[in-house]
Structure 1
């Protein structure tokens, strides 16, 4: 009896141990046991931080997304200090096929993402959501189509003229120029009154300088306008480009700030905001800065006007926008939710009110209060109706290899080390390297 009792006890103990082990081995994580799904983590880098014109809008958008989707999606945001830092890092990541899940395709990043196979065709996912498709509109979709595929979605429409200091113009006895000859004459008159005419820059993507270059080319008759509406041109050796570079050489040499050579966007913007320059080519997102006491001289907003480029020219385009760069199903679904949130009507309204970016469609209306508080944007939209020439900017049309050489070539042009004709040749050589 004793032996049988012992064996029975041992059997019960072993059974308990085995069952206990099975219970441990089959136990579920706390979130699964409670019925909750594990959060999907997606990565999103942004340069819209710090003093960037869209920083306040970007912060509000991200916080709103996390509030709405925080239970299911973990949005990991990487903040990069500038446009240039963003572009440089994304290009490095693209080279190794390591792009984050959501990426802005600016400055040729989209071309690299398509080439390396990371960019996802979004067309079918957009077509499946009629409400969202209406929010972004057919024109914005059409603008970013490539060979029947949609790799990116814009979050804003761009109408870009130039801003000018009305007080400086008045003292110089000038009004916004109707021709490029008059524009150059205005620069000379401003300089004669002791004002620096232009807030230019040659660093980063030479943004403010290249808006002027694109406008000189884009308003140079039918041929120039066609060129500035041509995607990825292979040859820059044409009279319109050379005319533009000849004028840019003069402007960089005689009509801009001392720090323009090598300057970043922040330098050019600061020069205009602090009334160290009379003109800056830039978009409506800059307008909130004029009333910001930390960025601009007091009362600057009342002293700023907006104008079309000479010959009634206007940069008119949709932004390249955002891409999804993951094929993982769960991540792709989460990334699409963020992409729709980032580019939909709700965000377009925030970008309009906080960042001065124009919405994609007329479905996002400006309130009377907004119009009252943002007269420059209202003026720009009114002026756009009079534009004879509309065209894209160089960031949108040129190969990234071309954009990369401006920071080197503009200083050489300004110092007379190369001619406009030679710079056009070097831009053509750079275009060939993208093949």
Structure 2
């Protein structure tokens, strides 16, 4: 899930969960990986923990305390995971879930230390890409889950392109044994599954647009032309706070995707030319132009992310460029005034593109004393019932269930679900920029703060990104990264 501050008591069936064809076709950014154990062939004889047919049975594991670290602190995400945790404990009374919930920033800061300690959590949410997941795999802190993917049919529940974003390639003998190694994300062994889908969307206040004589835009030009109209009416066109530094990565990513989504995607996935190019400079120049024209707050670097979205929810600002993890928090105070769409195409009816993919990975730690109970928990919070629970709490599931079909299409939730499906149909999702290198989060966030403050030019900003990305990718390619076969 990139940088963001971002189910069920029924008996589990062995029937295949149907994945919409459009979703399976979307996110076609990485070749499918066929790795040992994905068919469940490596399962413990008899299912371990007293299970049958290779499926672990947590009820036969004895008294278990499962420690879970997550970052689902916001309204909808907090509510859905609390409900699912309660239902899991009701289904398995011998299991107690000890939940530790932290903000994304706090989780990112403390997780590696917790994982490397003597008493690590059993289940954690880990950010994908080089800075976190790949680093944890290299340190031998996460357990590969390929066998469980086969046991629980995760390979048919999820499109391979979603699963692949939680894969890390092998890096030696230790990796083959389940710890250490790790070279490249997007291929290799599976180290987690994600609950939620998400994209950086264009939230809008219907009343603010109407008061300015505007309709919700259908093209990028209609959107950008309307920004000046809003400014002339005395309205802040786009609410934005970047005190936390990472929010600008999302706003900039949307602009960069607009100019060249395909190249942005290839660059993040390690097969592009990098950032010293026209579309990166054009996106940076447009961000600066918006600030100079007053379309964004001039004090954005001093305004917190939470403070900014709360200002928007309270009526200060016509638009907010933000992730769908804010949906429930915005909908509660705004009600029917809230609208959301994917960032707009160049022509009406064209294919939208934006930054997004899926939420943080839910992973099992390598030192967990209860790996089979942990894997059963992961299955429980991501199955079809869980998807319906998420939908009812205004959270976007990675693979929507039946409840998604019952949502009013004209509501903000209906717009969000429709945009998610359209983005997948049209292959319109670009991975988060912070996946690109182990240090790219720091480089991009600091560079964007300087760009917004007028301390560096768009050209200097693009060069800063390239100075981080270029040497890392040169080393990766020189060491043979990406040479691992995609299939087995």
Q: TM bucket by the smaller chain?
A: 0.7 to 0.9
Once the two structures are superposed, what CA deviation does each residue of 1:404-427 show, in whole Å capped at 9, x if it has no partner? 234432231122111112122222
Q: Does 1:265 align with 2:293?
A: no
Give the corresponding residue for 1:17: none
Give the corresponding residue for 1:157: 197
Give the corresponding residue for 1:122: 145
Please state whether the residue corresponding to 1:340 is helix, strand or coil: helix
Larger radius of gyration: 1
- Select 1:144's aligned residue among 126, 145, 166: 166
Give the corresponding residue for 2:408: 372
For 1:172-187, list aligned pairs within 5 A: 172-177=212-217, 180-187=220-227
Q: Distance in 2 between matches of 1:351 and 1:238?
A: 40
Give the corresponding residue for 2:105: 84
Give the corresponding residue for 1:24: none
Q: Does 1:102 align with 2:123?
A: yes
Q: Is the 8 A contact 2:301 2:449 kept in 1?
A: yes
Q: Which runs of 5+ in 2 are unaligned?
A: 1-59, 168-185, 346-350, 476-488
Q: Is the 8 A contact 1:44 1:100 kept in 2?
A: yes
Q: Distance in 1 between matches of 2:467 and 2:120?
A: 28
- Select 1:281's aligned residue among 295, 299, 321: 321
- Select 1:352's aligned residue among 375, 381, 391: 391
Q: Distance in 1 between matches of 2:93 and 2:433?
A: 35
Q: Distance in 1 between matches of 2:310 and 2:87?
A: 30
Change over 3 Å in CA distance of 1:137–1:67 after alignment to 2? farther
Q: Distance in 2 between matches of 1:133 and 1:198?
A: 40
Change over 3 Å in CA distance of 1:52–1:427 after alignment to 2? farther
Once the two structures are superposed, what CA deviation does each residue of 1:308-337 show, in whole Å capped at 9, x if it has no partner? 313242335233421111245x42122212
Change over 3 Å in CA distance of 1:233–1:338 after alignment to 2? farther
Deviation at 1:433, TM superposition (A): 6.5
Q: Distance in 2 between matches of 1:137 and 1:385?
A: 13
Give the corresponding residue for 1:304: 338
Please state whether the residue corresponding to 2:309 is helix, strand or coil: helix
Please state whether the residue corresponding to 1:87 is helix, strand or coil: helix
- Select 2:251's aligned residue among 200, 212, 216: 212
Q: Which runs of 5+ in 1 are unaligned?
A: 1-35
Q: Is the 8 A contact 1:229 1:391 kept in 2?
A: no
Give the corresponding residue for 1:318: 358
Q: Is the 8 A contact 2:396 2:417 kept in 1?
A: no
- Select 1:425's aligned residue among 463, 467, 471: 463
Q: Distance in 2 between matches of 1:325 and 1:382?
A: 35
Deviation at 1:48, TM superposition (A): 1.9
Deviation at 1:167, TM superposition (A): 1.9
Q: Distance in 2 between matches of 1:269 and 1:67?
A: 36
Please state whether the residue corresponding to 1:405 is helix, strand or coil: helix
Q: Does 1:166 align with 2:166?
A: no
Deviation at 1:158, TM superposition (A): 2.5
- Higher mean Cα deviation, 138-147 or 235-244? 138-147
Number of matched pairs: 385
Q: Distance in 2 between matches of 1:203 and 1:38?
A: 47
Please state whether the residue corresponding to 1:336 is helix, strand or coil: helix
Q: Is the 8 A contact 1:242 1:421 kept in 2?
A: yes
Please state whether the residue corresponding to 2:317 is helix, strand or coil: coil
Q: Distance in 2 between matches of 1:157 and 1:395?
A: 17
Q: Distance in 1 between matches of 2:77 and 2:271?
A: 28
- Higher mean Cα deviation, 408-417 or 389-398? 389-398
Q: Distance in 1 between matches of 2:303 and 2:117?
A: 30
Structure holding more helix per residue: 1
Taking only aligned residues, the RMSD between alpha carbons, in angstroms, comes to: 3.2
Give the corresponding residue for 2:176: none
Deviation at 1:211, TM superposition (A): 3.0
- Higher mean Cα deviation, 278-287 or 148-157? 278-287
Q: Distance in 2 between matches of 1:307 and 1:216?
A: 15
For 1:239-250, list aligned pairs within 5 A: 239-250=278-289
Change over 3 Å in CA distance of 1:92–1:355 after alignment to 2? farther
Q: Distance in 2 between matches of 1:421 and 1:94?
A: 39
Q: Distance in 1 between matches of 2:122 and 2:352?
A: 37
Q: Is the 8 A contact 1:320 1:396 kept in 2?
A: no
Q: Distance in 1 between matches of 2:272 and 2:245?
A: 18
